[in-house]
Chains A and B, each alone.
Chain A
């Protein structure tokens, strides 16, 4: 009974949030609509990271690389092969999935901190590869894409984000989601209950990377160009910050995390309290402050405040290192 009530409440809140997001562009300028679209991009990317890190417990600092793969898929298909924009999104998902599986397979052997640093290296290597093969990717100068109105970007971005959210929700609440969480909470216990670790970890990486690929596609559409610096190191770090600030292992937190990493710097830049030089200083300090005050992220604040559901296992249980000595 309790479970059903919680699900109903979740659905109701989700519908309200979706309605607000759908109606918001009516009150926004064209510029702010494009900003809203980029929040959608980070929403998808953080959602993707949450599947593999928040729910399956495999830390990835490399999701910028999967976004790059998806973004370049879209850019190359539209620029060189005459595709129109939207059909490239499924293609980016497929290419992202393949990239995720390729990274996920060696990652099976790594745990905790080694996995984190391996994925970090992937995030660094991919833009360098893009620079090194200019015939294919446009090199440092990159590729230009057709421009779109802010409203179009907003609608496409959030529509895609909505689809991804629904996919993630169905994926995570069912059998697969239970298996993911089992892997996160205890690999040994999961394996002894019949969860094939290799399969589920690889699948988690693949699905997550596919979503990140889609996020990269939309990102490229919003920016209407692509070059290796777009997918630099900071992108991966910001996605991880967003996921943890929002709350790992929570679909609620994704929206908060996306707004945090995308809107806070913009708000700081436009406000009068800071010059553009001091924005990273304040942003970094805020990140540290949030981690000190809300180590489990904004989602946990919501959960505690509203008593939503039972306390499930939370991000504090994800260890970067290995278990205690």
Chain B
């Protein structure tokens, strides 16, 4: 069955013909970043902190891809759910837990929360409505969850304890902050664990089957609706990782709208990557994180206000060249 699902996925999600341009361009970007980093320490620092931002976007973007792949719903509430779980972590620490136990508890709570949200809010809508109704329900969920964060914890900014002692590594005259490196590491680890789960466990296989061929999966005994709830749970866990990494970053404040901006970059990353490819979303997220950081520090007219429009222009250019993203499949539409 593994082989069957894998073959189906390949047929659906990859289109190897004429796609040498994308890998070539990516290699080009990588070479540019490495060469630039070797020549200038400022460039290296900006690249690393861009990668750290990109790691945060990547976790959230993969969460979006996870849900989109299973249900074709763009989950507008993903950022709000991440904020909510980050507040849960803050609350646990305020009650006296230290950082990592609180982190672990939060991931568990996030899973249960995501699972429940799908069960209570999304499933009744999906069952009767269409995709647009499900999207509106997700927007309703965004309003609801963001509102409840403000209701429960208030709208004032909270201060999250830092997970790592602030430490600067000095490598060949380049200062890397431990914060940035850990963010990159944790985000990549989260995505990797998820990939291993999908690749090597029975539940992961069932979830992939449910996403690719719901009817056939049902016939061989996969409980498709539970798999969807499960997917929402996992997406919420990834979101929680993104939220806690974001809250640990000095440039982001823990407040109800914390993830709004990050969600936008995650959208852009997922779209650049092709919306259906987790690897594409990670690459898209890292590209956007680095690009915005470099543009912000090297191009004088790119003010902080313009970062969002610039991200949008990047997304637009990618879509105009490849309308289904870098790694998306070109769908053949039936008349």
Task: Please state if B309 and A281 are interface contacts (CB–CB under 8 Å).
Answer: no
Of the listed stretches B36-44, B157-165, B290-298, B315-323, chain A binds B315-323
Residues 303-319 of chain B, each 1 if its beta carbon lies under 8 Å from chain A, else 0: 10110110110011001
Residues 59-96 of chain A, each 1 if its beta carbon lies under 8 Å from chain B, else 0: 10000000000000000000000000000000000000
A114 to B325, CA, bound (A): 9
A291 to B128, CA, bound (A): 9
Whether B28 sits at the interface, judged by CB under 8 Å, is no
Within 8 A of B (CB), among A221-256: 233, 237, 240-241, 244-245, 248
Chain A residues in 8 Å Cβ range of B124: 292
A131 to B306, CA, bound (A): 9
Task: Please state if A323 and B333 are interface contacts (CB–CB under 8 Å).
Answer: yes
Within 8 A of B (CB), among A167-225: 186, 188-189
Chain A residues in 8 Å Cβ range of B335: 186, 188-189
Whether A42 sits at the interface, judged by CB under 8 Å, is no
Task: Please state if B151 and A292 are interface contacts (CB–CB under 8 Å).
Answer: no
Give the interface residue-count category, chain B.
35 or more
- One of B275, B309, B324, B333 near A128 (C-beta < 8 A): B309
Chain B residues in 8 Å Cβ range of A284: 140-145, 147
User: Do A319 and B130 contact each other (CB < 8 Å), given the known contacts A279-B147, A283-B147?
Assistant: yes
User: Do A240 and B333 contact each other (CB < 8 Å), given the known contacts A106-B320, A114-B324, A118-B315?
Assistant: no
Whether B326 sits at the interface, judged by CB under 8 Å, is no
Chain B residues in 8 Å Cβ range of A113: 68, 72, 74, 275
Whether A325 sits at the interface, judged by CB under 8 Å, is yes
Within 8 A of A (CB), among B201-228: 213
The count of A-to-B residue pairs whose CB atoms sit within 8 angstroms is 160
A129 to B139, CA, bound (A): 24
- One of A233, A245, A319 near B136 (C-beta < 8 A): A245
User: Do A321 and B132 contact each other (CB < 8 Å), given the known contacts A117-B271, A124-B264, A233-B260?
Assistant: no
Whether A7 sits at the interface, judged by CB under 8 Å, is no
**Please, which residue of chain B has its CB at the minimum distance from the CB of A234?**
B143
User: Do A120 and B150 contact each other (CB < 8 Å), given the known contacts A292-B128, A295-B128?
Assistant: no
**Please, which residue of chain B has its CB at the minimum distance from the CB of A113?**
B74
Whether A285 sits at the interface, judged by CB under 8 Å, is yes
**Please, which residue of chain A has its CB at the minimum distance from the CB of B77?**
A284
Chain B residues in 8 Å Cβ range of A311: none
Interface residues of A, dominant DSSP: helix
Task: Please state if B312 and A291 are interface contacts (CB–CB under 8 Å).
Answer: no
Task: Please state if A114 and B271 are interface contacts (CB–CB under 8 Å).
Answer: yes
Chain B residues in 8 Å Cβ range of A281: 144, 147-148, 151
Whether A12 sits at the interface, judged by CB under 8 Å, is no
Task: Please state if B141 and A288 are interface contacts (CB–CB under 8 Å).
Answer: yes
Chain A residues in 8 Å Cβ range of B271: 114, 117
Task: Please state if B319 and A114 are interface contacts (CB–CB under 8 Å).
Answer: yes
Task: Please state if B132 and A318 are interface contacts (CB–CB under 8 Å).
Answer: yes
Shortest CB-to-CB span from B145 to chain A, Å, is 7
Residues 104-135 of chain A, each 1 if its beta carbon lies under 8 Å from chain B, else 0: 00100111011011101110110011011000
Task: Please state if B144 and A280 are interface contacts (CB–CB under 8 Å).
Answer: yes
Chain A residues in 8 Å Cβ range of B333: 188, 322-323
Residues 62-90 of chain B, each 1 if its beta carbon lies under 8 Å from chain A, else 0: 00000010001110100000000000000
- One of B133, B319, B334 near A295 (C-beta < 8 A): B133
Whether B125 sits at the interface, judged by CB under 8 Å, is yes
Additional 14 contacts, C-beta under 8 A, given A106-B316, A288-B137, A325-B213: A106-B320, A110-B323, A113-B275, A114-B323, A114-B324, A120-B267, A128-B309, A245-B136, A277-B150, A280-B144, A287-B137, A295-B129, A320-B131, A322-B333
A-B residue pairs in contact (CB < 8 Å), sample of 28: A109-B320, A110-B323, A114-B323, A114-B325, A117-B267, A121-B264, A121-B311, A121-B316, A122-B312, A125-B312, A129-B306, A233-B260, A280-B146, A280-B147, A280-B151, A281-B151, A284-B143, A285-B144, A287-B140, A287-B144, A288-B141, A291-B136, A292-B125, A295-B130, A315-B130, A319-B132, A321-B72, A321-B131
Residues of chain B having any CB pair with chain A under 8 Å: 12, 68, 72-74, 76, 121, 124-125, 128-137, 139-148, 150-151, 213, 260, 264, 267-268, 271, 275, 303, 305-306, 308-309, 311-312, 315-316, 319-320, 323-325, 331, 333-335
